[in-house]
Structure 1
Amino acid sequence: MSKSADDHQIKDSLEQLRCHFTWELQIEDNEMPDLENRAWDQIEFLDSKQNVGMHNLLAYVKHLKGQNEEALESLTEAEDLIQRGQTDQADVNSLVTWGNFAWVYYHMGKLTEAQTYLDKVENTCKKFTSLFRYRMECPEVDSKEGWALLKCGGQNYERAKACFEKALVVDPDNPEFSAGYAITMYRLDNFRLVSKGHKTLSLQPLEQALKLNPENVYIKVLLALKLQDLGRTAEGERYIEEGLDSTSSQAYVLRFAAKFYRKKGSLDTALQLLKKALEATPSSAPLHHQIGLCYRAQIIQIKEATSMRPRGQDREKIDRFRHSAIFHFESAVEFKPTFEIAYVHLAKMYVEAGNYRKAEDTYHKVLRMKPVVEETMQNIHFSYGQFQEFQKKSEADAMIHYLKAIQIKRASIIWDKSIYSLKKLAFRKLQRNESDLESLSLLGFAHKMKGNLNEALEYYEKALRLAVDWENSVGQDP
């Protein structure tokens, strides 16, 4: 058989595998450095059985970067971990790693080595009487796919959820599957913030995951944050304290504990924890973002305490906090160039510093992005609308972006604020010109979006009458 025929046959076999090369992971080029950092952080600081998966993910990213030799090194690390782990499940746990080995060797043109790993997969499939030659339908592989999807960003979360659900159908009391499902639901909950508060879809999965593995401090601190969201702060704080007392996964515990205390208003405690975590993971974009949020909250506290007129030492503190916030927000977007909400917070802090040019540049950069979460784009348009209204004094541009935020039909606090802001500007224009057709139409639209159909109809009819009167008057001109 010719080499081209061998190549074609092996390629057909490779496409049947279940591994990172066939899971259609959505990873943008500018996301890779942050993804690598997070994978290494998890390997080093999170006490987890997912390190095999992290080495596999690193191998896939290195391949995408054209670093196939380094990819093989990561896969060798993964295989060594498997051999040192559960020997009775070693074959099943190796399926994904072997699949990735086969793909990397294929891309290197080493067809013999690729076939060797295909044979390993085939033999395991035969051993476990799989219906397929090069793939096994089993919860262990479903879970591994779920963890890979979960690590690769929000655009993959729904698929990750489906993988963990599929695994749990077969083994509902498996701590690893339960933890993966709970973490996925927690992240999806954070995508679904609505005007009436946080949804609670992740509460029961988090409680179940902690029940199956009471020593999982990562789940423990996520449960604490969810309880805080639901107004059960004292109950959540007990879990935070337990997590901080543990020696396990401290870098992650510190980060989430800091978030808990920031939301509670204990900013000094939050900053202390974040800076300690940053010593271990200095290139963590989420940590820099959280630190920036703490400094921003301290600025707000001082302004409120001084009735928005800080002087002397308060003024100096604000200047110092503003400088620190900008530094950490800039660091966050440097380490993670797709961190959309961090760009919004950075732009707002540039506004706070009076640097409108940098704020404008930052807004333009984030407006060109395509966030996975629709509410994030709502937030971007609303924030830019505020900038146009209050700093650039452009009512027209402000209304355009309030309108764009409203047209993203996702009920949220920002959606409500955008409608209010659009109505306010439309009323202001009507006070100057009661025959302003655009303002009447926008008010009709705003009421329609809120479900106030009678008010919407009233404004639309008034706009229509004015339009007809205008056409009649033009038609009568000589």
Structure 2
Amino acid sequence: MSGISKEALQPRLLQLKCHFTWKLLLKDTDPEEIEDRLYDQLTFLVTKNKYMVYNLLAYMMHLKGDYPKAIANLEKAEEMIKENNPDETDHRYLVTYGNYAWVFYYLNQYEESQKYIDKVEQIHKELKDTPDQAEIYGEKAWALLKFCGQYYKEAKQCFEKALELEPEDPEWNSGYATAVYRLEVFNGRKCPASECRSIELLKRAIEKNPNDAVVKALLALKLQDLSRSKEAKTYIAKALKQAPSSPYLLRYVAMFYRRAGMVDEALGVLKTAIDLIPTSGFLHHQIGLCYRKKYFYYKKKSGNMYARELNDLIQNTIFHFEKTLEYKKTFVHAYVDLANAYCEVKEYQKAEDTLQVVLTFNLIDEEKQQIYCSYGQLKESCTGSESEAIDYYKKSLQINILQCEREICEKALKKISSKKIKNNFRDAEAFALLGFVHKIIGQRNDAINSYEKALKYDPDNEEYVSELCELKLTI
């Protein structure tokens, strides 16, 4: 054993199915924020699978370089597996032992690493008739779901594999339904009723696990999205009766109330939840959304009649959005919400600084589309920089995802070009801008017409000639 080398261990380590081989990347998340959430889940979640939380915590400790805590969490995972499954076979230890092997590898304790690799291989030998284990797929799926939104699609696929092996398992049914629900609403997406799979899956999850109040709340939110309010209220009432003091349920109840226009009721529920988890970025964001909704309601209703009250509401909005980002530094939507709130109090530099921060993140296209749109609105309406606004609107429009931001940018660019043409009917740039919009949204004939007008007033412009040739060749 004393002759074990690092190089000999590496290929065997890479064969293990555990958090260290699941490509959970540091660049995609904030380890401190996930760590806080996981400790909250250990306190408030009721599940026999808390060992999965300890396993993920061990991996987060690895990302922080804190290996003593990583080992302590793996020991807790082992205890939980033994406590909740005393008569089970060893297969539930596979992920934990794989994590142990990697932790000892990073500690240069190669003999210990080899010992855990051997344990994993021995378990697989005993399970030769069932090489695929639903628990591994399920644990990977839950880890992906907890890590960040960019991994939701892969989480869904892992839950599907777990369900192929154990179709009746309550945990995998709840997880699969949750993953599909999150994908349907991810980044503000609106899923048409004909394409909603989550309703059927959430109902099945409730059937398999009637004690899961959170799944009932997710079903209520989905039904609310589809204007099935009466049915939705029934599920919210059942969930509240079942788990009235669970912060994980209360946050979804608050969302339901706010979207139903019951903002004060939502705030009451959120204040109960925030007392239980004061460092929850999600809860602070929801409180900020409630104050923002009240602010715009009274601003529209009363104008400046209640200036002091309006100021209190927007300051509360800003406070809770700032708290959100203090505790959840990678929450992209909250940056946009905070920047827009700063604009309401004319703190334009703070708004721009906030958007600049989030643009440095590893963003997916939906997030880029939203931020470019918000930046365009900031530049156009708040700082008066129309040329910069056009650049950001164009960037947002070029991302071919059907979100409301794309429609906002299309309308904004058409409005700017129309205004410029009205001021100067020979404005070639304005016609070219209109041509760009028509081209991006697929209106080729209108695009050709606009670029021909642009060339009429600027006949030597090579860019316009190139665009026009390209458009004509596609017809």
TM-score over 0.5 (shorter chain):
yes
Q: Displacement of 1:22 after TM fit?
A: 0.9
Bigger mean CA offset, 19-28 vs 112-121: 112-121
* CA 444–259 in structure 1, closer or farther in 2 if over 3 Å, else same: same
Pair 1:245-2:241 in alignment = yes
Bigger mean CA offset, 260-269 vs 9-18: 9-18
Give the letter aligned to residue 310 of structure 1. Answer: N
Q: TM-score, normalised by structure 1?
A: 0.92
Counterpart CA distance in 2 for 1:16 and 1:196 is 38
Q: State the partner residue of 1:298.
A: 294
* CA 376–469 in structure 1, closer or farther in 2 if over 3 Å, else same: closer
| Match of residue 356, structure 2, among 346, 364, 367 | 364
Q: TM-score, normalised by structure 2?
A: 0.92
Counterpart CA distance in 2 for 1:266 and 1:17 is 50
Give the letter aligned to residue 264 of structure 1. Answer: A
Q: Displacement of 1:237 after TM fit?
A: 1.5
Residues 104-151 of structure 1: CA deviation (Å, up to 9, x unaligned):
1221122232222222212211111169xxxx4221211111111111
* CA 196–155 in structure 1, closer or farther in 2 if over 3 Å, else same: closer
Q: State the partner residue of 1:418.
A: 409
Pair 1:149-2:141 in alignment = no
Quick check: 2:2–2:111 contact (8 Å CA) kept in 1? no
Q: State the partner residue of 1:218.
A: 214
Q: State the partner residue of 2:308.
A: 316
Counterpart CA distance in 2 for 1:194 and 1:184 is 14
Pair 1:189-2:189 in alignment = no
Residues 427-472 of structure 1: CA deviation (Å, up to 9, x unaligned):
111112222222111111212333333322211221223332789x
Quick check: 1:47–1:248 contact (8 Å CA) kept in 2? no
| Match of residue 169, structure 2, among 162, 174, 182 | 174
| Match of residue 254, structure 1, among 245, 250, 253 | 250
Q: State the partner residue of 2:470.
A: none
**Structure 1: stretches of 5+ with no match in the other structure:** 472-478
Counterpart CA distance in 2 for 1:183 and 1:403 is 34
Counterpart CA distance in 2 for 1:337 and 1:350 is 18
Q: State the partner residue of 2:393.
A: 402
Q: State the partner residue of 2:30.
A: 31
* CA 315–65 in structure 1, closer or farther in 2 if over 3 Å, else same: same
Pair 1:342-2:334 in alignment = yes
| Match of residue 330, structure 1, among 314, 322, 326 | 322
Q: State the partner residue of 1:77.
A: 76
* CA 29–178 in structure 1, closer or farther in 2 if over 3 Å, else same: closer
| Match of residue 375, structure 1, among 356, 366, 369 | 366
Q: Displacement of 1:222 after TM fit?
A: 0.7
Residues 84-104 of structure 1: CA deviation (Å, up to 9, x unaligned):
112333411111011111111
Give the letter aligned to residue 8 of structure 2. Answer: Q
Alignment size in residue pairs: 461
Q: State the partner residue of 2:127.
A: 128
Counterpart CA distance in 1 for 2:149 and 2:29 is 15
**Secondary structure, in 3 states, of the residue corresponding to 2:21?**
coil
Counterpart CA distance in 2 for 1:336 and 1:350 is 19
Counterpart CA distance in 1 for 2:396 and 2:236 is 36
Pair 1:164-2:159 in alignment = yes
Bigger mean CA offset, 340-349 vs 201-210: 201-210
Q: Displacement of 1:53 after TM fit?
A: 0.8
Counterpart CA distance in 2 for 1:49 and 1:298 is 41
State, as a whole percentage, how many aligned pairs show the same letter: 41
Q: Displacement of 1:271 after TM fit?
A: 0.6
Residues 196-255 of structure 1: CA deviation (Å, up to 9, x unaligned):
857523222112111211211111111111111111122112111111112377111110
Bigger mean CA offset, 444-453 vs 222-231: 444-453
Quick check: 2:35–2:60 contact (8 Å CA) kept in 1? yes
Give the letter aligned to residue 319 of structure 1. Answer: N
**Secondary structure, in 3 states, of the residue corresponding to 2:196?**
coil
Counterpart CA distance in 2 for 1:163 and 1:382 is 34
Counterpart CA distance in 2 for 1:247 and 1:195 is 29
Residues 252-308 of structure 1: CA deviation (Å, up to 9, x unaligned):
1110000111111110000111111011111111111111010000001101222xx
Residues 148-195 of structure 1: CA deviation (Å, up to 9, x unaligned):
111110121121111111111222222111111111111111127557
| Match of residue 281, structure 2, among 275, 285, 288 | 285
Quick check: 2:101–2:113 contact (8 Å CA) kept in 1? yes
Counterpart CA distance in 1 for 2:67 and 2:394 is 48
Counterpart CA distance in 2 for 1:247 and 1:158 is 29
Q: State the partner residue of 1:474.
A: none
Counterpart CA distance in 2 for 1:433 and 1:139 is 67
Quick check: 1:221–1:239 contact (8 Å CA) kept in 2? yes
**Structure 2: stretches of 5+ with no match in the other structure:** 463-475
Quick check: 1:46–1:251 contact (8 Å CA) kept in 2? no
Counterpart CA distance in 1 for 2:149 and 2:120 is 30
**Secondary structure, in 3 states, of the residue corresponding to 1:123?**
helix
Pair 1:460-2:455 in alignment = no
Give the letter aligned to residue 417 of structure 2. Answer: A
**Secondary structure, in 3 states, of the residue corresponding to 1:88?**
coil
Counterpart CA distance in 1 for 2:196 and 2:69 is 42
* CA 195–414 in structure 1, closer or farther in 2 if over 3 Å, else same: farther
Give the letter aligned to residue 266 of structure 1. Answer: M
Quick check: 1:217–1:249 contact (8 Å CA) kept in 2? no
* CA 28–192 in structure 1, closer or farther in 2 if over 3 Å, else same: closer
Counterpart CA distance in 1 for 2:169 and 2:2 is 47
* CA 105–370 in structure 1, closer or farther in 2 if over 3 Å, else same: closer
Quick check: 1:56–1:100 contact (8 Å CA) kept in 2? yes
Quick check: 1:26–1:152 contact (8 Å CA) kept in 2? no
* CA 262–35 in structure 1, closer or farther in 2 if over 3 Å, else same: same
**Secondary structure, in 3 states, of the residue corresponding to 2:384?**
coil
